[in-house]
Structure 1
Amino acid sequence: MPSGPAVAQGGLMTWGKSRARAPVAWLVAGLLLAVALALAPSAPSVRSAGTSASAAAAPGSATLVVDRGSLSFTPSTVSLRGGGTLTLVNLDTFDHTVTSVATDAEGTPLFDVRVPAGTSATITGVEALAEGSYAFFCKLHPQMRGVLSVEGGDGTVTPELPAFEQRLVVPRRLTGPLVTIPMRQARVRMLPTGPRTRMWTYGGSYPGPTIVRPAGRETRVRFIHQLPRKVGALTVHLHGDHHAAEHDGQPTTQLVRPGRSRVYEYPLTYGGLPEPSSFFFYHDHRMDHTARNNWRGLQGMFVVKDPSESSLQLPTGRRDVPLMLADRSFRSDNELTNPFAHGPTMVGHHGSMAWTGPHAPPDDATVGTHVLVNGRYAPYLPVSATRYRLRLLNASHFSSYSIGLSDGRPLLQIGTGNGLLRKPVVRDRVLLGPAQRADVIVDFHGATGRDLVLDSVPNAAGATGDDARQAALMQFRVGAEAPDRSRLPARLPSPDLVDVPKTVSKTWTFGLGETHGHHAGSFWSVNGRAFDPERVDHRARLGTVERWRLRNVSDVTHYVHIHAEQWRTVLRDGKPPPPWEQGLEDTWRLEPGEVVEVAARFEDYTGSFMIHCHMLDHEDHGMMARFDVVR
């Protein structure tokens, strides 16, 4: 696979703790690798170019090896004379990459080469590096980490932080009871220089407009399909909301065809009462094309406001900022790459589907080289030295982010995407995987005149979140103090949680399957099967409360999303969930071997709904199932 901005396919598959790990923690921007496991955002250590005393002893070539099943680089620390050659010999059955943590000013890794299973390759870009230490990792299996030490030589390539040249764009807000959004092609400013990028958009922008509505007030959204006919039929799912099945964005039925429109109805009620304060997002959900359609731009945010929040004195207006994180890759002309052009081939048919080819499961992943915030790479936002409410959404296909501020000031989490927590939780970092959201307050008092970076760093090796992406996300430029009537709440009006049944009604098992014979291939599975829209895998009775068990038997982390209801987390690996997971949820991180139990009451609506992995290539390649709510 070529390196540089065009790289898009070859994503972030989060392998779990049950597999062997590289013993050295990831070197992050500006510091040499420490023996301690603590990580901090910075740039790799780079010494002045020239011949050092040790350069003569460093070899002119070095080799990394990945043995079958090891999920580690051997050796994990390697030295090389400047201008030398680094080679990866991949003896594993999976593809791997050797990717620099450090990037140039445009956000492109200093080296980034994908090496297919059973092959070897020279890691291009290494020969141009200046003297210094450079952390690297595998994008497909991010806990595979190592360090390259370059001694001497005439290389001039060094890491650079983003310039933060673009102002953050906060999408326009739509607040009426009837909203019309055309789905059309438009050119969008994403990178700071060069041409605008052609996208499939909601309303001509990426992200689409943010819909803001009061809880309990019926909202109708008319989507008009104005994209080219070759795009095919589309569907829209309001992720996290509670609504009728026909308005849920069914993957194969009730589609919006080219030139047509469809009105989706969202009452914003639950059991006849107004929904809690929520942060949803809307996106395409078309079977087999969800990853492609989201990659091209069909994503937008939706805020439900609860009037009871007014008594809390939370930050409002311009100090209430929705932030959508998503990664993309670009060609040299700033157009999006097409990681789906040479994707896996489907074999078989519904009920026995599988995929074959170099990007078939488990090597299917779509990860971009650039992390965008509200559609722009490395933006900045001028803020006053006051409190701000940040609504964080991870809309990436595969990447997870451990989000925090560069000076270490805390994030006060007050809610999930589905409502407020009972009590706020003080957090150094918030880990969000695909489709997860968090509602946090940041206090910029005392930071006047400083530029603070919202960034993501992986946690220590072996800890939850060690697969999180390393990235500088955006910059806050803190101005003067200003009047601030907001307060940090000690208690919150969180929604009631259902009483939990003692018995588990349904177990959903997420794994990797294979087919053999004429239609040999692989697929992501739920309860051993690939998705079949005609098959009903479970029936739940309207008005009842059910307790479900989610079990991951694969070697890959999954993010499991359940439609229809808003769920409480009962247990995580047999223990009470952490404080930030004790509100309402709709998407859970499941590491290999993990078991999570959840519960919800089936209210208001009958019909067909989905449970699936929100790593979108997993969903497209079989990891989805249908359940029906019946009377």
Structure 2
Amino acid sequence: MWGRVRVGAVAVLLATTALVAYDVGGASETPQAFAEPVRNATVVIEEGGARKGYSTPAVTVTGGGTVTVVNLDSMDHTVTSVAKGADGLPVFDVRIAAGTTATVPDVESLADGDWAFYCKFHPSMRGVLTVAGAGGGVEPERPSFDQPLVVPATKRGAEIRLVMRRSRVRTLPHGRRTSMWTYDGTYPGPTIRRRGGRGTRVTVVNRLPKGAGSMSTHLHGDHHASKDDGQPTSRLIRRGSSRTYDYPLTYDGRAEPGSFFWYHDHRMDRTARNNWRGLQGMFIVTDPPTPGLRLPSGARDIPLMISERSFTPSNQLTDPFADGPSMVGHHGEMAWIGPNAPPDDATVGDTVLVNGRAAPYLGVTATRYRLRLLNSSPFSSYNLTLSDGRPLLQIGTGSGLLPRAVVRSSVLLGPAQRADVIVDFSGATGRRLVLESVPAAIGSTGADARETAVMEFRVGASAPDPSRLPSRLPSPELVSPVPATVSKTWTFGLSEGHHSSSWTINGQAFDPTRTDHRAGLGTVERWRFRNTSDLTHYVHIHAEQWRTLLRDGKAPPPWEQGLEDTWRLEPGEEVEVSARFTDYTGAFMIHCHMLDHEDHGMMARFDVVP
């Protein structure tokens, strides 16, 4: 888990590599037996690497040798060590632009053994570098958990005020605090917790530094009016001004079901930057007490925002947007140019944060806990599991409870996805359990998840526990009947010209003045998503709460049979969903929640009309 790979996995990779010969530098070279010295090795990435993986997934080099990466693909890739060093960063990490070569740094310093590596932009690309003979002294560092988890402060009133301002917050366990853009001086911002049906007005004040620009706050997953949706180009919050958002927390005249929403900046072309700098917070809608439903509550109901950032040596955020792509053209013809233009636009952090802190720990009793899991990362996916293999009982999504609890060994969450799970720590007194992300097998769903430790649970003594594990749950009603025909197909793809590119929906980059679909108020529609690109996307729809009907023509898995607002969409995959358009007319958005993709064109507008 910490960078060394299992022997079985290495054997499979080596067997695969031994069958392939590559012509590098004009000479045909076949991998040799480990008994012979291998001074130099080559990692080859062929066309379609994001789908096919490294063409040489296992390479061997003797100590002091050189590892060269040859990228024959049309996309940028990285060769990044899974193992971290004493500074918490990958032991080696090199980006290889499309059509170029690069050398893996510091190989001569590595100790003998197997070093797993992957592509940060396409984590399903995985490989193993074996250092054999006369290696250096660098060993992988087992992660330590040096600072306590902080649960954000809670706001419960009908009138809530959030001030966006720059603040110094504790993210890393040692050294200086990190300057971030925050809601109310903390990252994440305060957690808002309100009963469904109880109207809530949130006033957001912009006191960010000069040059930050106007902002827009979106309550992700909620059902509310278009004017309160955090529009990307209109009703913005200028510096020195404020805007009040009205959230009735009702749906079609009834109290909104218990949900796990989150709020974040949604400014056009700046969403990735503004979220990276800290403009994120959580919002929990609660149900009234339900007889017989005894879920963990109080201090045992914990929201966990999982994200990632990269830091400078002085603990400040890096600026991955400084060399971002430049926009060319105008509305209706927008595209981007530069080395980080689509599809090479992926903001990935080196350090995973939970509730804003790197590698935190939480003391728990040997009882049941309700963990509300949110992936607020700009790009990465996490396949979350516990180090001792104990199950995660999923009881809900971000949009409400499931019809039945689902026992799972791991929970895959892409950007903006949430899961409501129960973990029973009984029998683990005195142990330290790690919540970690483990990629699935290559070729399986979740193969592109990051491999990383997330946080640690330190289990204390047992304690009285009135909660019970549920089987059936009072889940929100799903729209029924649904139309047999598809009203709208949304195709997520990539448009590439001679010198520019953009992410697109239905072949067009986002234009806020263009309406791509109109749905009638009170009608039920069936929509289809289709992915024609080589990368997975995470599709988020504003306005309504949706029922998942089909995934590649089959019934969705049990954990997708409640309400949803964000779906994983793999290359070539199709997903069908349905909802009733109720309560509000106006403009709303559908977009990929990999934030660079959203900023670089993969967003469309639909209008709900009378």
Normalising by the smaller structure, the TM-score range is: over 0.9
Is residue 268 from structure 1 mapped to residue 249 from structure 2 by the alignment? Answer: yes
Distance in 2, matches of 1:316 and 1:38, equals: 46
After TM superposition, the structure 1 stretch with the greater mean CA deviation from structure 2, 339-348 or 85-94, is 85-94
Q: From 236, 247, 250, give the equivalent of 1:255.
A: 236
Q: Which amino acid aligns with 1:522?
A: S
What's the CA shift for 1:77?
Answer: 1.3
What's the CA shift for 1:55?
Answer: 8.2
TM-score (norm 2): 0.94
Residue matched to 1:565: 544
Is residue 431 from structure 1 mapped to residue 412 from structure 2 by the alignment? Answer: yes
1:538-557 aligned at under 5 Å gives the runs: 538-557=517-536
What's the CA shift for 1:93?
Answer: 1.7
Answer yes or no: is the 8 Å Cα contact 2:146–2:359 preserved in 1.
Answer: yes
Deviations 1:459-508 (A, max 9, x none): 00100000000010000000000000000011110011011111111111
Q: From 508, 513, 537, give the equivalent of 1:529.
A: 508
For residue 8 of structure 2, give the secondary structure of its aligned residue in structure 1. coil
Residue matched to 2:6: 32
C-alpha change, 1:436 and 1:36, in structure 2 (3 Å) is: same
Distance in 1, matches of 2:102 and 2:67, equals: 9
Residue matched to 2:581: 602
Residue matched to 1:508: 490
Answer yes or no: is the 8 Å Cα contact 2:45–2:56 preserved in 1.
Answer: no
Deviations 1:2-61 (A, max 9, x none): xxxxxxxxxxxxxxxxxxxxxxxxx8644434249999xxxxxxxxxxxxxx98733222
Residue matched to 1:277: 258
What's the CA shift for 1:83?
Answer: 2.3
What's the CA shift for 1:152?
Answer: 2.4
Deviations 1:212-240 (A, max 9, x none): 00110000111110001200000000000
C-alpha change, 1:310 and 1:184, in structure 2 (3 Å) is: farther
C-alpha change, 1:310 and 1:473, in structure 2 (3 Å) is: farther
Distance in 1, matches of 2:6 and 2:422, equals: 32
Residue matched to 2:17: none
1:9-408 aligned at under 5 Å gives the runs: 29-35=3-9, 57-70=36-49, 71-309=52-290, 311-408=292-389
Answer yes or no: is the 8 Å Cα contact 1:538–1:628 preserved in 2.
Answer: yes
C-alpha change, 1:36 and 1:342, in structure 2 (3 Å) is: closer
Distance in 2, matches of 1:312 and 1:219, equals: 26
Is residue 592 from structure 1 mapped to residue 592 from structure 2 by the alignment? Answer: no
Answer yes or no: is the 8 Å Cα contact 2:294–2:468 preserved in 1.
Answer: yes
Distance in 1, matches of 2:243 and 2:73, equals: 48
Q: Which amino acid aligns with 1:505?
A: S
Q: Which amino acid aligns with 2:563?
A: L
**Which runs of no fewer than 5 residues in structure 2 stay unpaired?**
14-32
What's the CA shift for 1:311?
Answer: 3.9
What's the CA shift for 1:522?
Answer: 0.5
Is residue 615 from structure 1 mapped to residue 578 from structure 2 by the alignment? Answer: no
Is residue 422 from structure 1 mapped to residue 396 from structure 2 by the alignment? Answer: no
Answer yes or no: is the 8 Å Cα contact 2:108–2:135 preserved in 1.
Answer: no
Residue matched to 2:28: none
Answer yes or no: is the 8 Å Cα contact 2:34–2:60 preserved in 1.
Answer: no
Distance in 1, matches of 2:87 and 2:433, equals: 19
Answer yes or no: is the 8 Å Cα contact 1:28–1:135 preserved in 2.
Answer: no
Q: Which amino acid aligns with 1:32?
A: R
C-alpha change, 1:37 and 1:190, in structure 2 (3 Å) is: farther
Q: Percent identity?
A: 67
After TM superposition, the structure 1 stretch with the greater mean CA deviation from structure 2, 300-309 or 199-208, is 300-309
Aligned length: 588
C-alpha change, 1:309 and 1:350, in structure 2 (3 Å) is: farther
Residue matched to 1:446: 427
Distance in 1, matches of 2:116 and 2:310, equals: 21
C-alpha change, 1:608 and 1:119, in structure 2 (3 Å) is: same
Residue matched to 1:490: 471
Deviations 1:530-556 (A, max 9, x none): 000000000000011111011111111
Residue matched to 1:21: none
Distance in 2, matches of 1:124 and 1:323, equals: 35
**Which runs of no fewer than 5 residues in structure 1 stay unpaired?**
1-26, 40-53
C-alpha change, 1:38 and 1:584, in structure 2 (3 Å) is: farther
Deviations 1:501-525 (A, max 9, x none): 1111111111001345xxx410000
Is residue 413 from structure 1 mapped to residue 394 from structure 2 by the alignment? Answer: yes
For residue 294 of structure 1, give the secondary structure of its aligned residue in structure 2. helix
TM-score (norm 1): 0.91
Distance in 2, matches of 1:58 and 1:446, equals: 50
Distance in 2, matches of 1:91 and 1:478, equals: 49
Answer yes or no: is the 8 Å Cα contact 2:187–2:278 preserved in 1.
Answer: yes
Answer yes or no: is the 8 Å Cα contact 1:56–1:81 preserved in 2.
Answer: no
C-alpha change, 1:514 and 1:30, in structure 2 (3 Å) is: closer
Deviations 1:411-450 (A, max 9, x none): 0000000000010000000000000000000000000000
Residue matched to 1:458: 439
For residue 293 of structure 1, give the secondary structure of its aligned residue in structure 2. helix
Deviations 1:42-92 (A, max 9, x none): xxxxxxxxxxxx987332221112223344334221111122211111222
C-alpha change, 1:159 and 1:28, in structure 2 (3 Å) is: closer
Distance in 2, matches of 1:36 and 1:93, equals: 28
Answer yes or no: is the 8 Å Cα contact 1:538–1:627 preserved in 2.
Answer: yes
- RMSD of Structure 2 on Structure 1 (CA): 1.6
After TM superposition, the structure 1 stretch with the greater mean CA deviation from structure 2, 146-155 or 348-357, is 146-155
Answer yes or no: is the 8 Å Cα contact 1:531–1:623 preserved in 2.
Answer: yes
For residue 302 of structure 1, give the secondary structure of its aligned residue in structure 2. strand
Q: Which amino acid aligns with 1:379?
A: P
C-alpha change, 1:274 and 1:37, in structure 2 (3 Å) is: farther
Answer yes or no: is the 8 Å Cα contact 1:37–1:460 preserved in 2.
Answer: no
What's the CA shift for 1:104?
Answer: 2.0
Answer yes or no: is the 8 Å Cα contact 1:99–1:139 preserved in 2.
Answer: yes
Q: Which amino acid aligns with 1:549?
A: R
